[in-house]
Amino acid sequence: MPVKTVEWRGGVDGFLRLVDQTRLPTELVYVDAKSIERLWHAIQRLEVRGAPAIGVAAAFGPVIAAQKPAVETRALLARVEKACNYLATSRPTAVNLFWALERMRAEARRNAGLSPAAFRKSLLAEAKALLREDVDMCRRMGRFGATFIKGGMGILTHCNAGALATAGMGTALASVFTARRQKKRIHVFSDETRPLLQGARLTMWELMRERVPCTLLCDNMAAQVMKEGRVHLVVTGADRIAANGDAANKIGTYGVAVLAKYHRIPMVIVAPSSTFDLSIASGREIPIEERGAHEVVEPFGRRTAPAGAHAYCPAFDVTPHELITAIVTERGIIRAPNAARVRAHFRP
């Protein structure tokens, strides 16, 4: 059973329970978000992280916002709108956040004529539907993604695109878990993923929990392991994919894609349709989150550079579509992605 990364507890008056991912791998503990401010903080601090998980968690924000007593639904709608605007400021890159908030905003506006009680219920039903859809999309992506995995393969991944990054079994790691269930003999190499070590702390935790044979690499070891002929496939998730297939993912993914190209290793990105931003033509328009330099010079509370050292901390980079062999979504596979193929993939 995958860990329940995002879970709603109770009815309309309930709360959001999240795995506190800042505490893994040493402790599996939860944070309960009972206010919009606490939810904002959980997203901003990466207690909940990974593009789909951020979107699912944010979807419950309007449910929490509508809990305060009100005589009129109009007042609740205003609170929901305010909550959506506020939550949208928590992190800029993963488009799933904005996608989920806009879906909830639209649902709230559609139901503005209902009684306060029915309005609250409708919001909870929509957020729960979004969560269920994410679980289902993970399963489908896992099946399509596993078709790239053959027995005997070494697979390199970067950051964490597993159950901890979604409400279900993951995106990139769903392919790995599915391949394992299909009894394929595989070995996963996980980049540790500086500065916040999502690969070391989270991906290794998930892989070991599922008994997938795996080896941890420092980020700067990937080239050497590829040269040794031990990597046959690179598979990662994404935070935002532009209309031409350019894909933003955790900082370092672009470098891995360049290495994969040089070593003639296929690079596959696995992401649900909620990660596509078809309103932007290319990756140049993707906003890249810049986080505090302390994450580089003083990671996890321990100084690793001289006091006062200047550091740059972009949290994501963009892999141009020319370096991507395929993008896997819950709808299927986009091979050699470009604008025309992405458009065709989403044609109804």
* E strand spans, the chain: 6-9, 15-19, 30-33, 153-157, 186-191, 214-217, 233-236, 240-242, 247-250, 267-270, 276-277, 316-319, 326-329, 332-335
In this structure, the strands spanning 267-270 and 326-329 are parallel
3-state secondary structure 226-285: HHCCCCCEEEECCCEEECCCCEEEECCHHHHHHHHHHCCCCEEEECCHHHEECCCCCHHH
CB-nearest residue to ligand MRU? 237
Closest distance to ligand MRU from the beta carbon of 192 (Å): 13
Closest distance to ligand MRU from the beta carbon of 114 (Å): 34
Q: In this structure, is the dihedral angle defined by the CA atoms of residues 45, 92, 204 and 28, taken in order, positive or negative?
A: positive
Instruction: Give the contact letters, 242-281, x = binds to ligand MRU (CB under 6 A), - = no.
Output: -------xx-------------------------------
Stretch of 25-33, 164-172, 279-287, 317-325 lying at the interface with ligand MRU (CB under 6 A): 164-172
The 8-class DSSP code of residue 77 comes to H
Closest distance to ligand MRU from the beta carbon of 113 (Å): 37
Quick check: 166 binds ligand MRU (CB under 6 A)? yes
Q: Which helix (H) or strand (E) holds 109?
A: helix 95-110
Which of 134, 191, 219, 239 is catalytic? The answer is 239
Closest distance to ligand MRU from the beta carbon of 218 (Å): 18
Q: Which of 47, 126, 239, 317 touches ligand MRU (CB under 6 A)?
A: 239
Instruction: Identify whether 246 is a catalytic site residue.
Output: no
Terminal Cα-to-Cα distance of the chain (whole angstroms): 33
How big is the site for ligand MRU, counted in residues (CB under 6 A)? Answer: 19
Instruction: Give the contact letters, 116-135, x = binds to ligand MRU (CB under 6 A), - = no.
Output: --------------------
* Backbone phi and psi for residue 157, each to the nearest 5 degrees, phi listed first: -130, 160
CB-nearer residue toward ligand MRU: 67 or 319: 319
Residues numbered 10-69 forming contacts with ligand MRU, rule: CB under 6 A: 46, 49-52
Q: Which of 73, 171, 190, 325 touches ligand MRU (CB under 6 A)?
A: 171
Closest distance to ligand MRU from the beta carbon of 229 (Å): 26
Closest distance to ligand MRU from the beta carbon of 50 (Å): 4
CB-nearer residue toward ligand MRU: 23 or 121: 23
CB-nearer residue toward ligand MRU: 198 or 244: 198
64 Rama sector, left if φ>0, alpha if ψ -120 to 50, beta otherwise: alpha
- In Å, what is the CA distance from 279 to each residue of 241, 286, 289? 10, 11, 19
List the strands of the sheet with 214-217, edge to edge.
Answer: 214-217, 186-191, 153-157, 233-236, 267-270, 326-329, 332-335
Q: Which residues are catalytic?
A: 239
- Interaction site with ligand MRU (CB under 6 A): 46, 49-52, 94, 159, 161, 165-166, 171, 198, 236-239, 249-250, 315
